[in-house]
């Protein structure tokens, strides 16, 4: 067995080890010395790896391999029934930045019932969106305003702000939504768009006050 073959066998064993530190080193080795044989195993591990920092290393290792090998496997994963598989595949695609995968970022993923999947889809979408598709993406993302807890709302606001002024019409419409959570989130996101240095907590608390007073946060 060649030295390279031994390295692949060792990494495979390491990725299955019960110790996170060993799995981390195995993922690091797979990225340091890329080999086409690693791709399938790395993708499979992403779907089940419980430790965040190991998953991050798995993603890095995949980005070290040629996109023609990794992207087709990742596109299969975004259709998986396992939420972590979808989320991690989307995250990795956002790091590879191959815009040809844009059609795979579907409305179903952007509105996925699993918040981690949706958040990964939002981040991937703003990285991969083709020129001219931003208004359509903004319209879909705006349907998620008011969703979830602080981290989810912050992720969505960041994704929307990353699209720039194109999001203004969608936000303007959302400031008059019946749901006060949607109105507050839209107003807070508008504030962040105008003043990126404003903290999200400040923006959302100010928006809540505006909504409580019956306003839309827009100057008459």
Is the pTM above the cut of 0.95?
no
**Nearest partner of 90 among 49, 52, 139, 126, judged by Cα:** 126
Tokens representing 53 are 């920092």
Q: How far is CA 193 from CA 60, 124, 159, 180, 220, in A?
A: 31, 19, 11, 20, 19
**Over 90: is that where the pLDDT of 43 sits?**
yes
CA distance 76 to 93: 12
Q: What is the mean pLDDT of the chain?
A: 90
Read off the pLDDT of residues 149-163 as tens digits, 9 standing for 90 and up.
989 999 999 999 999
CA distance 219 to 2: 71
What was the pLDDT predicted at 194? 83
Read off the pLDDT of residues 16-25 as tens digits, 9 standing for 90 and up.
999 999 999 9
CA distance 193 to 156: 12
**Over 60: is that where the pLDDT of 29 sits?**
yes
Domain boundaries, the chain: 130-220
Please give the average per-residue pLDDT across 66-93, as a whole number: 97
Find out whether 122 and 110 touch, Cβ atoms under 8 Å.
yes
Read off the pLDDT of residues 89-148 as tens digits, 9 standing for 90 and up.
999 999 999 999 999 999 999 999 999 999 999 999 999 999 999 999 999 999 999 999
């Amino acid at each position: 067995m060649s030295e390279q073959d031994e390295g692949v066998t060792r990494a495979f064993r390491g990725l299955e080890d019960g110790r996170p530190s060993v799995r981390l080193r195995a993922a690091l080795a797979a990225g340091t010395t890329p080999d086409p044989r690693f791709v399938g195993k790395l993708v499979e591990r992403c779907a089940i790896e419980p430790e965040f920092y190991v998953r991050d290393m798995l993603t890095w290792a995949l980005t070290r391999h040629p996109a023609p090998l990794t992207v087709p496997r990742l596109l299969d994963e975004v259709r998986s029934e396992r939420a972590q598989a979808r989320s991690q595949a989307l995250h990795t695609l956002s790091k590879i930045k191959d815009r040809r995968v844009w059609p795979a970022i579907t409305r179903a993923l952007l509105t996925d019932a699993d918040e981690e999947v949706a958040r990964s889809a939002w981040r991937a979408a703003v990285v991969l969106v083709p020129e001219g598709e931003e208004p359509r993406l903004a319209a879909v993302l705006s349907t998620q305003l008011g969703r979830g807890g602080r981290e989810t709302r912050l992720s969505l606001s960041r994704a929307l702000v990353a699209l720039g002024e194109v999001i203004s019409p969608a936000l303007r419409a959302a400031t008059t939504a019946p749901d006060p959570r949607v109105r507050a989130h839209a107003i807070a996101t508008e504030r962040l768009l105008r003043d990126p240095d404003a903290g999200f907590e400040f923006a959302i608390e100010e928006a809540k006050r505006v909504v409580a007073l019956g306003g839309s946060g827009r100057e008459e």
